[in-house]
Structure formats: C-alpha cells, structure tokens
Amino acid sequence: MTGANASPPFPDVRPRALVGWVIFFLLAPWTGAQDKPATFQDLASAASAAREANDIPRAIGLYGQALQLDSKWQDGWWFLGVLEYGADQYAAGRDALTHYLDLAPKAGPAFALRGLCEFETGEYAQSLADIQRALSLGAANAPRNEQILRYHEALLLTRNQRFEEALRAYGVFAREGVTSPELLLAMGLAGLRTPLFPKELAANQQDLYLAAGNAAFQFMAGDAKKGQAAFEDLFQRFPTAPNAHYLYGYLLFATDPDQALPEFKRELEIAPSNGAAEVMLAWDSLMRGNFTEALPYAQKAAVEEPEATVPQLVLGRSLLETGDVKGGMEHLEKALQLDPENLETHLALAKAYSKSGRKEDARRERLRCLEIAKAQDTQNTQVAQP
C-alpha cells in the first residue's frame, strides 16, 4: 500500500475500440481467510491484499468499508475507482474518482480515468472536459496512454462537431502507424464531418467511411503518394460523397494551399451549401490579402453556419478589411461570444477597435491576446515535460 500522499500511476487501461479494455495488475498470491477487520488499518491492508490477488469484488467491498472509516484516504479512492472501472461499474468508478480529485485536484491520471468512466456512462460533455484536462496535466506521458486518451478525445470531438480538432487528435495514430478498422471508421467520420460514433454507423455506409478514413490516415502518416492514391480511389468509388473533397483540401492546405483550393471548389460543386469549404476559401483569400474575394465566401459561410465561430471570424475580418468596420466588429464580437478564448478573434477585434477609435477597448484586446498566448505557451510546456 502506498503512502497517503503518494501520486499513483496512470492505470494500464486500453480502449475496447483499439485493443480491448483490460486493466493489468501485478498479481501476488494470497491464501488464507481473514475475519472481518475491525480497524481502518486492517481493512486497508486486506483491501490491498485482495486487489493484489485479483479478488476484485472483495477488494471493492473492503476499500468501500475502509473509506467509510477514513474518507480522506487518497489511495483508497484511487484504487476503488480503478477497480470499479475495471469491473465495468462506471458510475461508481466516476464517483470514487471524484472523491479522489477533491483531495488531489491536479491529478492528471484521475481526470483521465474519470473521463473514460463518463464516456461509458454517456456523459459526453463532461468526459471530453475531463480527458482534455488530463491531457493538459500531462497524463499522456507515455505512447499507450496518449493513444487511449487521444482516441476518446477524437471520438468526442467528432460527436461535438469539432471535426478538424478530431482529425488533429487522430494524427497521433497516423504518425505512429497504429491502425484498425474501427479507428479508420472513426477517422472517416471525422473527415466526412459526421457526428457519430463508429458503433452508430449503418452497415451499408461503412465502405465509404473506411475509404475516407484510410485516405486520411495515409496522408497524415506522411506518405503523400499513398494518400493521393487513396483519395483518388475514394473519389472514384464515391463521386458524390459530401465532404470528401473538402477533407482532401483541408489536409493539403497546410503544406500546399494552391493544390487545396481546387478541392474546396470541387466540394462546392458537389455540395453548394458546404459552409466549411466556404470558410477555407475565404480564409485563403484573407491570407493572400484578397479581401474583396474573401467576402462572398465568408458571407455564404456565415449563412450556412450562423452559430459557428470561424464563419463569424472570417466574415468579421472580411468586412473589416473591405472598409465596413462597424459590420466587422459585430461579427467579430459574435465570434468572441461563441469562443471567448480564440486568439485570432481577439487580434482582429484589437485591430477593429483601433480603427474605430476605441483605444481602450483595443488596448484591452491586445492585453488579452498576450494572456492567451502566455497561457498556451505554459500549457504546451507542461505537456512536453516527461
């Protein structure tokens, strides 16, 4: 049994979606029966022995009894949460880990495991928040841990229609060459902007999403030739699939925007109301300084996705750069309401307020930009630490 202030390790858990959910313990033989312990120390020792002997039901019961006598026992809540998770008692595991986090509020592994419990209980918003909190605290400090957390983060981001963020999370698997049919389905769902889990996908749609996921995987793995061939196969087999050309354009954009633009335009021929493609065309025009060209794309994107941050941002910037400072500020302020921590929005607002003579507001936005940038640097440093 570890000391009361020890920081327990991240449990060796693996998602069913990748290689099966299993918790591995170092097993030690334990023979002989015990009478029911009467003291906290007896209960704690018996719980540890039962856990090490892989007698999970008995260990759970004994940890519960010990914690009734000492609710501040950190290790007890941790191991109880781990055991209940391993026994598919996800709601109970979530509650035990919540008690643990009350005592150790910066424990990244506990946020991670609670997030996985919440994923199983269907508390998807809280699960995503906990998993991302765990990542920010360095819980992905080993490749296996990172794969578990990034996979669930990406599933939840896709479900929440944050598709580009989901693709970035899946990049871990492409870079490491880790793949499976279910992973490719999941990547296809993110790439084709479909807010479902792989298990929710109809059987007659799987070929499309597998093909899209495989194309994205090959490209993100760094093999441009295989990626291009896989996308050409996707387009040939599914010529009218919405978001397929958008996906290829999005992946190309960072390294070859000139090649990406025809893909976005082809997407709009297939799906004229694709707001994501409109956003990318507007953004590219803004980056090139073609503000008048950006404006109609941005206007259409904002109509198609009025409650999304980026369409409001690109429209606000397009209006600002074409001389409509008031209209630009209105859309930028709406973008800020939708995502208060968006650095690009704060930068654009600082420029808009400066142009309109609102010097104090412009100064406030510049200071906020510095705060956000500093916080991002700090977070990146924490994640990079071993």
User: Given this model, what pLDDT does residue 163 score?
Assistant: 97
Give how far Cα 254 sits from Cα of 22, 250, 251, Å.
38, 8, 7
Amino acid at position 69, single letter:
L
CA–CA distance, 283 with 212 (Å, rounded to integer): 24
Give how far Cα 211 sits from Cα of 89, 202, 216, 232, 305, Å.
36, 15, 9, 10, 27
User: What CATH number does the domain located at 30-136 have?
Assistant: 1.25.40.10
CA–CA distance, 332 with 219 (Å, rounded to integer): 34
Give the CATH architecture of domain 300-378: Alpha Horseshoe (1.25)
User: Given this model, what pLDDT does residue 26 score?
Assistant: 25
Cβ neighbourhood burial of 321 (10 Å; 0-12, 13-18, 19+): buried
Are residues 312 and 339 in contact, defined by beta-carbon separation less than 8 angstroms?
A: no
Phi and psi, residue 264, nearest 5°:
-65, -40
Dihedral sign computed on CA atoms, order 63, 68, 69, 74: positive
Q: What is the DSSP letter of 272?
A: T
User: Given this model, what pLDDT does residue 27 score?
Assistant: 29
User: Given this model, what pLDDT does residue 113 score?
Assistant: 97
Q: How many CA atoms lie within 13 A of 322 on its CB side?
A: 19
Strand partners, 13: 23
Using alpha carbons, select from 85, 38, 94 the residue that is nearest to residue 66.
Answer: 38
CA–CA distance, 269 with 262 (Å, rounded to integer): 11
DSSP of 40-55? HHHHHHHHHHHHHTT-
CA 238 to chain centre: 28
User: Given this model, what pLDDT does residue 118 score?
Assistant: 98
Give pTM, 2 decimals: 0.85
CA 129 to chain centre: 9
CA–CA distance, 381 with 372 (Å, rounded to integer): 14
Phi and psi, residue 141, nearest 5°:
-85, 5
Classify each residue of 241-276 as buried b or exposed e, where b means 16 or more C-beta atoms within 10 Å of its C-beta. Answer: bbbbbbbbbbbbbeeebeebbebbebbbebbeebbb
Q: What is the DSSP letter of 8?
A: P
Amino acid at position 349, single letter:
L
Q: How many CA atoms lie within 13 A of 325 on its CB side?
A: 9
Using alpha carbons, select from 122, 244, 129 the residue that is nearest to residue 189.
Answer: 244
| Mutual angle of helices 275-287 and 309-321, in 10-degree steps | 40
User: Kindly report the CA angle at 237 between 231 and 242, in degrees rounded to 5?
Assistant: 70
Neighbours of 19 (CB within 10 A): 13
User: Given this model, what pLDDT does residue 38 score?
Assistant: 56
pLDDT in tens, the chain (386 residues): 444 444 444 444 444 433 333 333 222 222 333 454 459 999 999 999 999 999 999 999 999 999 999 999 999 999 999 999 999 999 999 999 999 999 999 999 999 999 999 999 999 999 999 999 999 999 988 777 889 999 999 999 999 999 999 999 999 999 999 999 999 999 999 999 999 999 999 999 999 999 999 999 999 999 889 999 999 999 999 999 999 999 999 999 999 999 999 999 999 999 999 999 999 999 999 999 999 999 999 999 999 999 999 999 999 999 999 999 999 999 999 999 999 999 999 999 999 999 999 999 999 999 999 998 888 766 655 444 44
The rounded radius of gyration (Å) of the Cα atoms in the chain is: 25
Are residues 10 and 139 in contact, defined by beta-carbon separation less than 8 angstroms?
A: yes
Using alpha carbons, select from 279, 274, 252 the residue that is nearest to residue 263.
Answer: 252
> Could you give the 3-state DSSP secondary structure of residue 23?
strand
CA–CA distance, 264 with 278 (Å, rounded to integer): 8
- Residue intervals of the chain classified under CATH 1.25.40.10 are 30-136, 300-378
CA–CA distance, 326 with 171 (Å, rounded to integer): 40
